[in-house]
Amino acid sequence: FAAFTNISSHINHFIMKKSILYFFIFFLLPYLFSSCKDDGPLGLDDKINTASFDPVNKTFIVTYSNGEEEILEAILNTSYSPTRATVTLKNGTQLSVNDASEAGEIIFSGKGNYQSATYDPNTSSFTIIYDSGFKEVLKAILIDDLDESFAIRDLADGSFLLFNISNPTESVQRFTRKGVLVSASYNNQENNKFFTLRYDSGYRVSVEAFIDNSTNPVSAYITLIDGTFIYIDDATKSGEAVVDTTIQPVSGNNYVNEWIYENMLVYYLWNYKLPENPNFSLYPDDFFYSLLNKYSISNPEGDRFSWIQEDYVELLNDLSGVSSDEIGFEYIFAWADQAKTHYYALVLYPKQGTDAEAKGIDRGRFITKIDGQNITPQNYETLFGGTGTKKLSMADWSYNPAESTYYLQDSGDV
């Protein structure tokens, strides 16, 4: 009996040691190896929670599932139009935006499929959630349609989000097609008169109206690129517009504007931002400027230099620098103060072989004074005309990173 008890004790001891060994191999070792893996502050398995692009500082801001955040400088690829911005994360994921001049949609492998979205009226933006858990915030375009207002956002996959601001109990809807034009409204606002086009999917877009003051009452109309004619007989009040799909003969402004639009589709640097439905009824000058990706404080990389000129012979002479009785560079005026008492002159380009070209009076610079005098509507012809030496006070755009704003900085005299 004693011998049997001793043997049983040895067997129990052996089984216990074997159990401890199995526990160590199958439970403790994997934990120890995972604890020793050095992934730095961000593990390779940490998912991207959110990501956004800052078009001013050209940086990506990324947050991860472990709570970490990093700000990464973007790599700009100017071989594309528009310039693209990309960055590669520590885990090898590459983020990109198709337009480095705006805070657009983030594109990357593993982003997942659209799941849902909400709209925030305080920021006029959509928060989009994907089935991967990724979340991003994108600005909406606000569209007024008579007594209703809508928030719309086009997405990179060709779909769009739609939210009826006038009925906030509705949820955000996503559509994969814009559809066909079914109706339109005319909206007469204090400083803005436009048609809102409605498509059968619910998509809406606004187009500036052409006001015809020769009729009584004044009327408004637009002509779309496909010849669709949209009008209202009384432009003094908002209301439903008439949509006439009868093809209109191409003549007058329409003929010139179609030529302008077709050439800008090919040659304009920001051709990807041209409106889909411009108003071909506008006067050619107004039509041209309605197409531009205009410069503003919120769009610092916008177009500051494009203009249209009717006399092509005069334009060719200007570009060749053949004019003798002028200051040596082409320019346009911008009001220097809110009271509109004097101008700044924005340089479009220096004339070839002139003293202005030699002294670095380049495209994008500002002339704030000439010979110490402000430039006014009364004296600008005298200041810019004639011959002889002139002292130009220069200014250039400078960026203030603390306030994320641009301002004009004095650059001395030339």
- Mean local confidence (pLDDT), 406-414: 85
Local confidence band at 203 (pLDDT 50, 70, 90 cut-offs): very high
User: Per the structure block, which two tokens stand in for 411?
Assistant: 């650059």
Among the residue ranges 80-89, 190-199, 289-298, 354-363, the one predicted with the least confidence is: 289-298
The pLDDT, as a whole number, for residue 325 is 46
Among the residue ranges 54-58, 301-305, 315-319, 331-335, the one predicted with the least confidence is: 315-319
Whether residue 122 has pLDDT greater than 90:
yes
Q: How far apart are the first and last CA of the chain?
A: 115
- C-beta atoms surrounding 137 within 10 Å: 13
User: Per the structure block, which two tokens stand in for 305?
Assistant: 């230099």
**DSSP assigned state of 271:** G
Contact between 394 and 368 (Cβ < 8 Å): yes
CA atoms of 167 and 149, how far apart (whole Å): 9
3-state secondary structure of 242: strand
Contact between 277 and 197 (Cβ < 8 Å): yes
The pLDDT, as a whole number, for residue 267 is 73
CA atoms of 94 and 101, how far apart (whole Å): 19
Q: 366-370 and 329-335: which strand pairing?
A: unpaired
Report which of residues 25 and 354 the model is more confident about: 354
Which pTM does this prediction carry? 0.56
- Mean local confidence (pLDDT), 302-313: 66
Cβ contacts of residue 317 below 8 Å, gap of 6+? 323
Contact between 139 and 103 (Cβ < 8 Å): yes
The pLDDT, as a whole number, for residue 231 is 93
Average per-residue pLDDT in the chain? Answer: 81
Contact between 110 and 102 (Cβ < 8 Å): no
- Mean local confidence (pLDDT), 333-338: 78
Locus of tokens 């994921």? 93
Whether residue 116 has pLDDT greater than 90:
yes
Rg (CA), the chain: 32
